């Protein structure tokens, strides 16, 4: 058995985001501390070099005035230079003229000459020599040196004076190292404290920021359990997650509406299919059980069966046509037709049905032929559905007016009735698939007619509108745009 990385990997997105933020913070902090230490070291070293060069320049100017003046100055500043850790070495060919050795160095002339010789051989303006090349005295360095594990480094430069003698100055880097080490120690302590606070604050804000996603997950689980009315609580913010929440709730509204409508429509479809199927079955059973039936009676029974089968076929065909219309895959066989002639033919099919209800069917067509590129079968089907609805919902003694208005770039077909009308709320839904309004619930049909009409009209790249008020009749207007 072993513990794999996958088992250690946090499964919570919130935990992963928090850990990622912490790692990013510490990595950035380490970079900042590293670069800060580097640039501080460069800055301290630059200042130390400027200090040494300033001191060397001052001594050179004193030497130009008088060799004795320089020697006197070195004697006067001897104690001060020893305490600050400054090494001074002035020599000529005959020997050493003056030397100041820091207080914690051993008085070893051989090592001092070695120090100067090493610098001169290097040929560089500056030399750095670790303190391990020197023998320190028994005097203990500052306690901070021990605590910070410092290794003292000597920065050395030299200059040839006017008489050919050489003056070398070296100064310890210990102060620079001490400041940088102390800086890093303090910064790491601060970063540790800030890191702990960042973990707590990061966890809190990550939890708050991801709360909409958590609500989304919980709502999805509730919906998966069968509660379609569940909604995600909308946050008070206006960011991307708030927009996602609103869109998700809108989608849930549409899904719930679709599922509810589908369940209601399936009940209607089952009812409309059950009736012809029951009649068909009854006719067949009667023909089978009636052993004395004549050929004429059997023929009538077969005609009833064929009629019921045709009703079922028409119902299924309407469902398929409506599905094509909604999906936008309806195939049209367009040809140049006269809208006057096609509409006249559709009206003639429903004139007898209108006369049975004592409804006057008025026609107001254009005086000249109106030609359009359209599928005559589909367009006649759409007009037939509109006329059938107008007759169905217009009371006896009413009238229906079919008009064709032709303009330069638009052709309008209007079917206006004096029926029961449609409420404003229902006007927004009458073109929905399988929707049946309050006025149509007691009549035959499944709510496919107007949805199919809209699909046919849209397939022709035309538009259909309804203008209606309760008890004031309805007007359905189809608008075709003529190509320019």
**Consecutive 10-residue runs of the chain (484 residues): their mean pLDDT?**
46 67 76 77 82 89 89 89 82 83 65 63 66 42 44 75 86 70 77 78 74 79 79 74 81 80 70 76 81 79 82 75 68 90 91 90 89 90 91 91 90 92 84 63 56 86 90 92 76
462 CB-side CA count, 13 A: 25
Q: Where do the DSSP E strands lie in 3-130?
A: 86-92, 95-100, 127-130
Task: List beta partners, residue 87.
Answer: 170
- The strand pair at 399-406 and 360-364 is best described as parallel
Full-model pTM: 0.46
183 CB-side CA count, 13 A: 17
Helix (H, G, I), strand (E, B) or coil at 207: helix
- 450 class by beta-carbon count within 10 Å (0-12 exposed, 13-18 middle, 19+ buried): buried
Measured between alpha carbons, how far is 127 from 48 in angstroms, rounded to an integer? 13
Measured between alpha carbons, how far is 220 from 259 in angstroms, rounded to an integer? 16
Residue 173 carries which DSSP code? S
Measured between alpha carbons, how far is 61 from 479 in angstroms, rounded to an integer? 104
Task: List beta partners, residue 129.
Answer: 154
Phi, psi of 210 (to 5 degrees): -90, 5
Measured between alpha carbons, how far is 92 from 163 in angstroms, rounded to an integer? 9
Q: Report residue 162 as tokens.
A: 């006017």
Q: What is the reported pLDDT for 270?
A: 73
Q: What is the reported pLDDT for 140?
A: 40
Q: Report residue 410 as tokens.
A: 């638009």
Q: Give whole-number Cα distances, 432 to 48, 362, 392, 436, 437, in Å.
A: 86, 29, 19, 9, 11
- Alpha-carbon Rg for the chain, nearest whole angstrom, is 51
Q: Report residue 464 as tokens.
A: 């259909």
Q: What is the reported pLDDT for 111?
A: 61
Domains parsed from the chain with CATH numbers = 10-200 (3.30.450), 240-327 (1.10.287.130), 335-481 (3.30.565.10)
Sign of CA dihedral 123, 129, 133, 139: positive
């Amino acid at each position: 058995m072993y513990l794999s990385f996958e088992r250690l990997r946090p499964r919570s997105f919130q935990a992963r985001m928090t850990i990622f933020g912490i790692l990013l913070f510490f990595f950035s902090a380490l970079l900042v501390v590293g670069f800060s230490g580097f640039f501080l070291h460069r800055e301290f070293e630059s200042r130390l070099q400027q200090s040494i060069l300033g001191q060397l320049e001052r001594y050179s100017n004193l030497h130009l005035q008088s060799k004795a003046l320089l020697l006197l100055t070195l004697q006067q500043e001897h104690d001060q230079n020893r305490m600050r850790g400054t090494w001074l070495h002035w020599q000529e060919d005959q020997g050493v003229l003056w030397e100041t050795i820091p207080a914690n160095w051993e008085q070893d002339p051989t090592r001092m000459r070695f120090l100067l010789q090493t610098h001169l051989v290097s040929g560089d303006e500056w030399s750095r020599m670790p303190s391990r090349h020197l023998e320190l005295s028994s005097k203990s360095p500052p306690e901070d040196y021990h605590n910070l594990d410092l290794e003292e480094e000597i920065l050395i430069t030299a200059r040839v004076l006017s008489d050919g003698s050489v003056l070398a100055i070296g100064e310890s880097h210990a102060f620079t190292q001490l400041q940088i080490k102390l800086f890093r120690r303090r910064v790491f302590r601060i970063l540790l404290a800030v890191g702990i606070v960042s973990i707590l604050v990061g966890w809190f804000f990550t939890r708050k920021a991801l709360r909409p996603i958590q609500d989304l997950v919980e709502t999805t689980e509730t919906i998966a359990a069968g509660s379609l009315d569940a909604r995600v609580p909308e946050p008070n913010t206006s960011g991307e997650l708030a927009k996602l929440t609103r869109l998700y709730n809108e989608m849930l509204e549409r899904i719930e509406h679709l599922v509810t409508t589908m369940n209601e429509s399936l009940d209607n479809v089952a009812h409309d299919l059950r009736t012809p199927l029951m009649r068909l079955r009854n006719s067949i059973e009667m023909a089978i059980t009636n052993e004395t039936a004549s050929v004429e009676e059997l023929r009538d029974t077969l005609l009833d069966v064929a009629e019921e089968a045709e009703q079922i076929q028409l119902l299924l065909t309407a469902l398929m046509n409506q599905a094509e219309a909604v999906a936008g895959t309806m195939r049209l066989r367009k040809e140049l037709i006269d809208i006057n002639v096609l509409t006249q033919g559709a009206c003639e099919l429903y004139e007898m049905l209108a006369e049975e209800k004592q409804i006057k069917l008025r026609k107001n067509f254009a005086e000249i032929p109106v030609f359009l590129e359209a599928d005559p079968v589909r367009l006649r089907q759409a007009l037939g559905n509109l006329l059938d609805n107008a007759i169905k919902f217009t009371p006896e003694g009413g009238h229906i007016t079919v008009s064709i208005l032709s303009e330069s770039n638009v052709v309008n077909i209007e079917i206006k009735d004096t029926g029961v009308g449609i409420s404003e709320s229902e006007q927004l839904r009458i073109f929905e698939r399988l929707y049946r309004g309050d006025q149509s619930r007691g009549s035959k049909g499944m709510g496919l007619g107007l949805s199919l009409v809209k699909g046919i009209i849209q397939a022709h790249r035309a538009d259909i509108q309804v203008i209606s008020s309760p008890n004031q009749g309805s007007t359905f207007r189809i608008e075709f745009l003529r190509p320019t």
